[in-house]
Amino acid sequence: MPKACPTGAATRVLAGGRILDRKGVNLPDTVVTLPALTEKDRVDLEFGLSLGVDWVGLSFVQWPEDLAEAKGLIQGCAGLIAKIEKPSALDCLHGILAALLVGYEPACKIAPVAG
């Protein structure tokens, strides 16, 4: 039986196999409390901006605050795409959209639906 432990989790392997390099772990119903940008992300973002990229995609956005650091680093030099990949982000979707639009003139607008 899987169970939570103070230092991790005890689980049971259902289908064993070798975990390969550069593969991720999918935690669809888990709120992840890691920073939105890693140190490597910051270095890659700076490099991309130095090359003049037009758009930057930020993965696994869960909260409006996840966008703040990226927007601060981009400083209007590129557009920002929030990749909504976690169900928990849907609870904050209005705030995420509002955070994206601060300081930008949107290319398209979403009209509220009456009802």
Separation CA 66–CA 34 (nearest Å): 10
pTM: 0.66
Three-state SS at 17 = coil
Separation CA 79–CA 109 (nearest Å): 15
With 0-12 CB in 10 A as exposed, 13-18 as middle and 19+ as buried, what is 39?
Answer: exposed
Per-residue pLDDT of the chain (115 residues; tens, 9 = 90+): 678 878 888 888 888 888 787 777 777 777 777 888 999 999 999 999 999 999 999 988 989 999 999 999 999 899 999 998 888 889 999 999 999 888 766 555 556 666 5
For the chain, domain boundaries: 33-44+52-104
